[in-house]
Amino acid sequence: MKKVFLIFVVFFGLNLSVLAGVDINTASQTDLESVKGLGPVKAKAIIEYREKHGTFKSVEDLSNVKGIGAGTLKQLGDQVSVQEETTSSEVKTH
């Protein structure tokens, strides 16, 4: 029984990153191109926007990137995400 539980935990633990989608704040060109609806041009535009303006606060902020509109955002669905960042003020020291 313990083995079954361990396999279950490992299997679902490894798949959580897939469920969360590609983090648009940290994804490489290749990672972004792997998302259905984003090709090389849009992936490059996302990275350039991120480098110029900083991290995205939400997936909807992608609409600020040239070439990405409501239709693309709808197509992306939950394939992309913005992961929460841990700032130094959130880290507790003992």
Q: Is there a domain that residue 82 lies in?
A: no
Q: Do 84 and 25 meet the contact criterion of CB atoms below 8 Å apart?
A: no
Which of 64, 59, 60, 57 minimizes the C-alpha distance to 85?
57
Number of domains in the chain: 1
Q: Which two tokens stand for residue 93?
A: 């020291």
Query: Tokens 């259905």 — which residue?
Result: 36
Domain that holds residue 22: 18-76
Q: Do 64 and 48 meet the contact criterion of CB atoms below 8 Å apart?
A: no
pTM across the whole model: 0.69
CATH of the domain at 26: 1.10.150.280
Q: Is there a domain that residue 84 lies in?
A: no
pLDDT in tens, 48-90: 999 999 999 999 999 999 999 999 999 999 999 998 764 544 4
Q: Which two tokens stand for residue 3?
A: 């083995």
Q: Is there a domain that residue 68 lies in?
A: yes
